[in-house]
A and B are shown apart, each in its own frame.
Chain A
Amino acid sequence: MSALLDSMSAGFDALPAALVDAQGLGAPRRAALAAVLADGLPGPRSEAWKYTSLRALSARRFTAADAVAEVDPAALADIPPPRLVLVNGQFDAALSNLDGLPDGVELLALSQALQGDDGRAVAVLGRRFDRPDELFARLNGALATDGALLRVAAGVAVATPVHLVFVGVAAAGDLAMHLRHLVELRKDASLTVVEHHVAQGEHRHLANHLVHVHLAGGARLVHARVQDESTGATLLARTDAVLASHSEYRRVDLELGAGLSRHELNVALQGEGAVAIAGGMLLADGRRHLDTRLGVEHQAKNTRCELPWRGLADERGRAVFHGGITIHAGADGSDAALSNKNLLLSDSAEIDTQPVLVIHADEVKAAHGATVGRLDETALFYLRSRGIGLAQARALLIQAFLREPLAVLGDPALAETLGALVTQHLDRKDLSA
């Protein structure tokens, strides 16, 4: 067995029996772990893992967090309430602040729900994952004991964004944390939620997030996810969103940090007229490996998706993008648009992009495209001829390129806040050569 899975198995054994068996979840947890151990890690022949090798990771060992880590609250000062904070995978009540949470909105930690008799924990944790390449979802099923549960009651429109904050902090060893989340909007509810994945100090932890997004009919969710983890960190994230009729899901992912970050975004457009507008950017510089894998399923009539993604690879970085769209039989009137544009800034960097469109319906509109290029020399000269130095001119063009998907949020203030994070990252880069 690989050191990785061996350490995960040991982590399971170290969980208190009462926690494993809480709410009758013991059996599905054990089954999920057994399935992972039986199938092992996917190799290079696994299509889903073709461009992201788990070889280096397979040789590493992670332990579960045992002590509560200290976080300087000042580091989170920019993130206003209401916010739920988890440090090294554990709910931190002191840093969390639910002030201003409107009536009709429930926000609590999964660990709190597991202690009570809240059925929602079971509803999300009891799910089975059948494919061997879903090993991190399986591990999550076995090992997740914390996370965020967020629910908005029918008809409630929430104006204040809710923040979910995940902080990685250096510990005695490399930690593995498995978190399960649920964002549920009842009929005609609306909400903005922002996930922050941030580090305090350098660390090499592994975080395994699985987020369920449930949008009932007419619900509207704006969802931003900022991944700005430590350069040594490994992140494996998966979002499964299910959209009922005439619901709208707008989301943006900023992949700015970590050493290895993979995100699988699965969106099922189950109800007629459901809309998913999901874009993002991958900033793969240094030795960062970023992998984003979209799976959008048009399952009902007149569903729409719009997927603008931008990638940048510099130095020895690697950006991997898979944009899968399936239009099922009967999903007539579907409209799908995917664009993945990439900037390759160094000879040692790599970009792999793979738009995949599968259509089983008639009367659909579908467009997809992927490009990889360099910065436009003419535009660079234009900026320089006006007095702007080379490094600044490059930064301007890169920023403009990467910020483009932020428009999908339909929220200029949030887009500006997120765009500023991109600018901060570029400011730290040396673009003079």
Chain B
Amino acid sequence: MLKIENLYVRVAGKDILKGLSLEIGAGQVHAIMGPNGAGKSTLGNVIAGREGYEVVEGTVQLDGVDLLALEPEQRAAAGVFLAFQYPVEIPGVNNTYFLRTALNAQRKGRGEPELDSMQFLKRVREKLAVLDLKDELLHRAVNEGFSGGEKKRNEIFQLALLEPKLAILDETDSGLDIDALKAVADGVNLMRSPERAFLVITHYQRMLDYIKPDVVHVLADGRIVETGGPELALQLEEHGYAWVKDRIAPGASARA
């Protein structure tokens, strides 16, 4: 589903990703782990199309569609969803209005009919019930005054509503206590399906206790240095990231 080949990305003149390749099949959950500064968040942002990330070389395709040629909103319509590490507060923009605008913009982008407010609300209620979220969330401005946990749950709620092909979770566990983490993970697990792929970016293994990955990658110094099963995450937890340093291919600058 997602196919990244030999991706080189520069941010503010600095090389961050240095030849990253990654393939995720439909229905799979891949975790990307790695030390701070390895380029984990850069990967998520590049796939979603954030400005300020210069792709020097390489390709990113979703079901054969060249994502790098698309604007962020077109990527969303093509099925990309990025759950932000720091969800943005947007005072004055009502959450329901925002979600409906987003969903209908995507549907329009795909040539599907837009949902009227009744249809939309029906869908919202279904998702709220499934995720065990309160209605009240809808009446507030986007993320405004939300606690850290509420913000992350709102991200997962958006994920549920927008039903993307590829969901990228960027350090969704950061800043969450164990109960909030479980709630978020439950939401994600409900969204797992044979048609959907997940890319879970995290620094810590604990998230993967609740969202079981099919494949774990270790990202260090801009490329994937190790790929394995869920047991790889446990090894990292045990040994820390120091040992991956040794695995960085010769010629790359070691700065784990």
Which A residues fall within an 8 A CB radius of B? 376-379, 381-390, 392-393, 396-397, 399-401, 403-404
B73 within 8 A of A: yes
Contact among B48, B77, B105 with A392 in the assembled complex (CB-CB below 8 Å):
B105
Assess whether B50 is in contact with A396, with CB atoms less than 8 Å apart. Answer: no
Assess whether A386 is in contact with B158, with CB atoms less than 8 Å apart. Answer: yes
| Mask of B136-174 contacts with A, CB within 8 angstroms, 1/0 | 000001000000000000000010001000000000000
* Residues of chain A lying within 8 A (CB to CB) of residue B20: none
Assess whether B90 is in contact with A382, with CB atoms less than 8 Å apart. Answer: yes
Assess whether A386 is in contact with B84, with CB atoms less than 8 Å apart. Answer: no
B82 within 8 A of A: yes
- Which stretch (B6-14, B95-103, B231-239, B248-256) binds chain A? B95-103
Within 8 A of A (CB), among B95-151: 98, 101-103, 105-106, 109, 141
Contact among A377, A378, A379, A385 with B49 in the assembled complex (CB-CB below 8 Å):
A385
B39 within 8 A of A: no
Given that A379-B88, A382-B84 are known contacts, is A389 also in contact with B105, CB under 8 Å in the complex? yes
User: In whole angstroms, how far apart are the Cα atoms of A399 and B103 in the complex?
Assistant: 20
Assess whether B77 is in contact with A400, with CB atoms less than 8 Å apart. Answer: no
Question: Which interface residue of A384, A387, A392, A396 has the most chain B CB atoms within 10 A?
Answer: A387
B87 within 8 A of A: yes
Assess whether B105 is in contact with A385, with CB atoms less than 8 Å apart. Answer: no
CB distance from A161 to the nearest CB of B (A): 24
User: In whole angstroms, how far apart are the Cα atoms of A378 and B81 in the complex?
Assistant: 16
* Residues of chain A lying within 8 A (CB to CB) of residue B48: 385
* Residues of chain A lying within 8 A (CB to CB) of residue B80: 385
* Residues of chain B lying within 8 A (CB to CB) of residue A389: 71, 73, 105
User: In whole angstroms, how far apart are the Cα atoms of A314 and B102 in the complex?
Assistant: 26
User: In whole angstroms, how far apart are the Cα atoms of A317 and B73 in the complex?
Assistant: 30
User: In whole angstroms, how far apart are the Cα atoms of A400 and B141 in the complex?
Assistant: 10
Assess whether B51 is in contact with A388, with CB atoms less than 8 Å apart. Answer: no
CB distance from A385 to the nearest CB of B (A): 5
Question: Which interface residue of A376, A386, A396 has the most chain B CB atoms within 10 A?
Answer: A386
Interface CB pairs A-B, < 8 A, 15: A376-B88, A379-B88, A383-B98, A384-B71, A386-B102, A386-B162, A387-B77, A389-B71, A390-B73, A393-B73, A396-B93, A397-B90, A399-B92, A403-B92, A404-B91
Nearest B residue (CB) for A404: B92
User: In whole angstroms, how far apart are the Cα atoms of A383 and B49 in the complex?
Assistant: 12
| Contacts A386-B81, A386-B162, A388-B105 known; 14 new A-B pairs at CB < 8 A | A382-B88, A382-B90, A383-B90, A383-B102, A384-B71, A384-B72, A385-B48, A385-B75, A385-B76, A386-B73, A390-B71, A393-B73, A401-B92, A404-B91
Nearest B residue (CB) for A384: B72
Q: Which A-B residue pairs are the 9 nearest by beta carbons?
A: A400-B92, A387-B106, A387-B76, A386-B102, A384-B72, A382-B88, A387-B105, A384-B73, A400-B93
* Residues of chain A lying within 8 A (CB to CB) of residue B82: 385
User: In whole angstroms, how far apart are the Cα atoms of A387 and B72 in the complex?
Assistant: 7
* Residues of chain A lying within 8 A (CB to CB) of residue B93: 396-397, 399-400
* Residues of chain A lying within 8 A (CB to CB) of residue B75: 385
User: In whole angstroms, how far apart are the Cα atoms of A273 and B76 in the complex?
Assistant: 53
* Residues of chain A lying within 8 A (CB to CB) of residue B90: 379, 382-383, 396-397, 400
CB distance from B53 to the nearest CB of A (A): 11
User: In whole angstroms, how far apart are the Cα atoms of A387 and B107 in the complex?
Assistant: 9
User: In whole angstroms, how far apart are the Cα atoms of A398 and B103 in the complex?
Assistant: 20
User: In whole angstroms, how far apart are the Cα atoms of A379 and B143 in the complex?
Assistant: 11
Assess whether B101 is in contact with A392, with CB atoms less than 8 Å apart. Answer: yes
* Residues of chain A lying within 8 A (CB to CB) of residue B72: 381, 384-385
User: In whole angstroms, how far apart are the Cα atoms of A387 and B98 in the complex?
Assistant: 10
Given that A396-B98, A396-B101, A397-B93 are known contacts, is A387 also in contact with B88, CB under 8 Å in the complex? no
User: In whole angstroms, how far apart are the Cα atoms of A393 and B49 in the complex?
Assistant: 15
Given that A382-B84, A382-B87, A396-B98 are known contacts, is A387 also in contact with B73, CB under 8 Å in the complex? yes
User: In whole angstroms, how far apart are the Cα atoms of A241 and B48 in the complex?
Assistant: 53
Question: Which interface residue of A378, A383, A396, A399 has the most chain B CB atoms within 10 A?
Answer: A383
* Residues of chain A lying within 8 A (CB to CB) of residue B91: 400, 404
* Residues of chain B lying within 8 A (CB to CB) of residue A399: 92-93
Nearest A residue (CB) for B107: A387
Nearest A residue (CB) for B91: A400
CB distance from A378 to the nearest CB of B (A): 5
* Residues of chain A lying within 8 A (CB to CB) of residue B92: 399-401, 403-404
* Residues of chain B lying within 8 A (CB to CB) of residue A390: 71, 73
User: In whole angstroms, how far apart are the Cα atoms of A90 and B48 in the complex?
Assistant: 59
Given that A383-B98, A397-B93 are known contacts, is A388 also in contact with B73, CB under 8 Å in the complex? yes
* Residues of chain B lying within 8 A (CB to CB) of residue A383: 90, 98, 102
CB distance from A317 to the nearest CB of B (A): 22
* Residues of chain B lying within 8 A (CB to CB) of residue A392: 101, 105
Assess whether B51 is in contact with A381, with CB atoms less than 8 Å apart. Answer: yes
* Residues of chain A lying within 8 A (CB to CB) of residue B71: 384, 389-390
User: In whole angstroms, how far apart are the Cα atoms of A385 and B75 in the complex?
Assistant: 8
Within 8 A of A (CB), among B36-89: 48-51, 71-73, 75-77, 80-82, 84, 87-88
Nearest A residue (CB) for B94: A400
Contact among A376, A388, A397 with B102 in the assembled complex (CB-CB below 8 Å):
A388
Nearest A residue (CB) for B97: A396
User: In whole angstroms, how far apart are the Cα atoms of A433 and B165 in the complex?
Assistant: 29
Assess whether A386 is in contact with B51, with CB atoms less than 8 Å apart. Answer: no
* Residues of chain B lying within 8 A (CB to CB) of residue A401: 92
Assess whether A386 is in contact with B87, with CB atoms less than 8 Å apart. Answer: no
CB distance from B117 to the nearest CB of A (A): 16
* Residues of chain B lying within 8 A (CB to CB) of residue A382: 84, 87-88, 90
Assess whether B87 is in contact with A388, with CB atoms less than 8 Å apart. Answer: no
* Residues of chain A lying within 8 A (CB to CB) of residue B49: 384-385
* Residues of chain A lying within 8 A (CB to CB) of residue B102: 383, 386-388
User: In whole angstroms, how far apart are the Cα atoms of A385 and B106 in the complex?
Assistant: 10
